[in-house]
Amino acid sequence: MTEARPTPPAPATSGPLPPSLQFGDQGRLRHLLTIEGLSRPLITEILDTAESFLGVNAQTVKKVPLLRGKTVMNLFFEASTRTRTTFELAAKRLSADVLNINISTSATVKGESLLDTLRNLEAMLVDMFVVRHADSGAAHFIARHVAPHVSVLNAGDGRHAHPTQALLDMFTIRHHKGDFSALRVAIVGDILHSRVARSQIHALNVLGAGEVRVIAPRTLLPAFVEELGVHVFHDIRAGLKDVDVIIMLRLQRERMDSGLLPSEHEFFQLWGLNEERLALAAPEAIVMHPGPANRGVEIDSRVADGPQSVILKQVTYGIAVRMAVMSMIMGGSVNQGASQ
């Protein structure tokens, strides 16, 4: 297996992706595009707000009127089940109207530009776009060009960011493990192609996690990954020693060039999480996965379905976290959120 480390493509937008784009007047959060630039108090406020929404999800009538009269439009240029449906549920439980655009049958495939599509959708008096796109920087591009009354939530852009996934992962960790400062967290698998891993690393560092580890073959790590504030391991047994949280990532074949790794069977033998390797972690360690999980590739079924797995709970918590973000942006309750 080659030792070369491919360099991810540059974001689709020209120039850097400014975190300040997320904030409007008086520091109010207007868009959620990336974890970068979010302060610890703001992330904590999002998690606290999500905690309050867990009770709504347990009610017989799972609705609150916070966003009644608002319209949320899901623009998913990439396939998704888990993320799109939890965003849709979150908006509906806040009493917003929700539109799902089928991009494969939209005017964009007939030659209409993305900006023209946006202008037409804005003319329908939409209040928020939830955007997933294969190109890094796409959500920033859209946020730069939307009308002043419209907010943008990044539901994943290329290899760049997936902020709400990272937030729901932080919520899961806090809910089950408490204080971040005492925790060792290991992120395992395809770090190179994972927008989730980048967002998780930023969030963990902002929240003061005791140690963040990444475990992967060299070909599935970005160049200079250590500069993100992580400890790098290529041996999964050493990397999992005494950790409190294990986050497994899938192999993103759709974003890979050939020759980055051996067969899926060999990958599981070298870096997959099984019961024997899980036993190396702390006794009360939890196992997470942003999904979709490939059983027998990065995780064994007995671990995915085992007592230490919180994978399905992540999905449930994701609804509350996305409710929190939507309500805080469109309800105007967040101020002074930018990092100082």
Active centre residues (catalytic): 82-83, 110, 132, 162
Whole-angstrom CA distances from 61 to 68, 90, 93, 102, 231 are 15, 13, 9, 29, 45
Sheet holding 184-188, edge to edge: 231-233, 211-215, 184-188, 245-248, 286-288
CA end-to-end span of the chain: 44
DSSP state of 6: P
60: annotated binding-site residue?
no
Q: For residue 219, say whether it is annotated as part of any ligand binding site.
A: no
- Asked whether 34 and 199 are in contact (CB, 8 A), the reply is yes
- Residues 263, 269, 275, 281: is their CA dihedral positive or negative? negative
Neighbours of 336 (CB within 10 A): 14
Q: Strands, DSSP E only, in 35-81?
A: 71-76
Q: Among residues 309, 334, 324, 18, which one has the least CA distance to residue 164? A: 324
84 appears as a binding residue in the annotation? no
What values do phi and psi take at 153, rounded to 5? -110, 125
Residue 277 marked as a ligand binder = no
Close Cβ partners of 139 (under 8 Å, ≥ 6 residues apart) = 31, 33, 131, 133, 152, 153, 154, 155, 157, 161
Q: Does the annotation flag 144 for ligand binding?
A: no
Contact in structure between 8 and 256 (CB atoms under 8 Å): no
Contact present, 147 and 122 (Cβ < 8 Å): yes
Q: Is 82 annotated as a binding residue?
A: yes
The H or E element spanning position 153 is strand 151-157
Q: Is 177 annotated to bind ligand?
A: no
Residue 292 known to bind ligand: yes
Q: Is 92 marked as binding a ligand?
A: no
Which residues are annotated as part of the binding site for carbamoyl phosphate? 82-83, 132, 162, 165, 291-292
- Binding region for L-aspartate: 110, 195, 250
